[in-house]
Amino acid sequence: MKYNFDEIIPRRNTDSVKWDLAETGVLPMWVADMDFCTAPEITQALEKRAQQGVFGYPLTPAAFYDATTAWWQRRHGLAVDREWVVPMPSILTALSTIMKAFTAPGDKVLLQSPAYNHFFTAIEDGGCAAVTNDLLHENGEYTIDFDDLEQKAADPGVKVMLLCNPHNPVGRVWTREELLRIGAICFNNDVLVISDEIHSDLVFGEHVHVPFASLGPEFQLKSVTASSPSKTFNLAGLQVAYLIAAAPDLKKRVEKALHAQGVLFLNPFGVDALIAAYNEGEAWMEELKIYLFDNYRYLCDYLAEHLPQFKVTPLEATYLVWINVSALQRPAKEITAALLKEQHLWINPGTLYGASGEGFVRVNIACPREMLVDGLERLRAGVV
Ligand SMILES: Cc1ncc(COP(=O)(O)O)c(C=O)c1O
């Protein structure tokens, strides 16, 4: 390997949410943030920007749009016109912008639960109500309950569906067939699909990310895609993301809502990081994927040997492993609280992602192997 993912980077006292919200001695394996240095090409681009020494109001350069559209074409086979791209500071900004642009207080928004926790908060903060289409969980695997989706989408109060593609926290990469059915149901019911594709680059094995907007003209024009290099390249602190809206009226509404929130500029460090990531970061990312999947395999082997009562959900994408701990017959929140208190291990209870997450925990494995081993040993010590 050219890049060293085994290196332990001390992150305490670096103003890190992951590490500095955790008390001394706690191993944090919760928030979706990786304990690796980003690609060196990105750091070099940031150093170059810092050396400029003048940080006035920035323009978002053509290179931002070129890098983004080339990435989607090359990595995911999606032709994106640069006119469709709306730069954003983060996906959380994108979610609040979408709520402002496409819903009115009192509307309903569909999501598939368990669901990324900030989907719920964005909906509530937008004055709307979340309508959950619980995923089916059978034989350790998640699928979509299409009958339920059809019924819920038919509610005239439902205006938008927040789709997580690939899915955090259950790690599914939705197939073309699944996405086609979601689209058909939503379009029949005039439900706008927002496809959050932030996890689309970290997809493993034979699984292939299918961009929702790639499935045909209707999918392109009746959806908005949100994405960012921030998960793939560990750039969350630089606050850079974008929406892709092919329909001019949807794009206009997004831009208006964004400006109404006072967002007029992107941080140039974030912009430079995106450009370097998408233009020069691919080799680093390919190695990262190998390392992450090896971590996943290590975790599976470890649990099979030492904690066989825990069942690992197959990880098709992301570095967030969704583990069924229902054999313990205790609420997930109680399990994670005890692990934090007694073993100084911070992982998330499944119920953070909605009621259907009961019986599960989510573990972030994007860390050097040595840290993963430490975390697994703490987990084992806490439950046996
Ligand atoms: C599905 C999903 N969307 C959005 C985000 C957050 O993105 P951002 O940091 O750009 O707001 C995350 C972070 O884990 C996520 O998992």
Distance 92 CA to ligand 1 centre (A): 7
Helix (H), strand (E) at residue 371 = helix 369-383
Distance 53 CA to ligand 1 centre (A): 30
- Reported as half-sphere exposure (CB side, CA atoms, 13 A), residue 19 has a value of 12
Whether 227 contacts 211, CB under 8 Å = no
Residue owning the nearest CA to atom 13 of ligand 1:
32
pTM for the predicted model, two decimal places: 0.98
Whole-angstrom distance, CA of residue 199 vs CA of residue 77: 16
pLDDT digit string (tens) for 350-360? 999 999 999 99
**What pLDDT, on a 0 to 100 scale, did the predictor assign at position 1?**
84
Any ligand 1 atom below 6 A from CB of 228? yes
Whole-angstrom distance, CA of residue 258 vs CA of residue 228: 17
Structural domains in the chain, sorted by start = 17-40+282-383 (3.90.1150.10), 54-280 (3.40.640.10)
* Pocket probe mutation, ligand 1, options 231, 353, 365, max atoms within 8 Å of Cβ: 231
Enumerate residue ranges in the chain where pLDDT < 70: none
Q: Which of 146, 227, 148, 223 is closest to 192 using CA atoms?
A: 223
Any ligand 1 atom below 6 A from CB of 116? yes
Whole-angstrom distance, CA of residue 116 vs CA of residue 130: 12
Distance 41 CA to ligand 1 centre (A): 23
* Pocket probe mutation, ligand 1, options 96, 198, 200, max atoms within 8 Å of Cβ: 198
DSSP-assigned letter for residue 157: T
Degrees to nearest 5, angle at CA 248 with 235 and 257 = 55
DSSP-assigned letter for residue 339: I
Query: What are the backbone angles phi and psi of residue 198, rounded to the nearest 5°?
Result: -65, -25
Residue owning the nearest CA to atom 16 of ligand 1:
168
Q: Which atom number of ligand 1 is nearest to the Cα of residue 116?
A: 1
**What pLDDT, on a 0 to 100 scale, did the predictor assign at position 384?**
76
**What pLDDT, on a 0 to 100 scale, did the predictor assign at position 223?**
98
Whether 13 contacts 209, CB under 8 Å = no
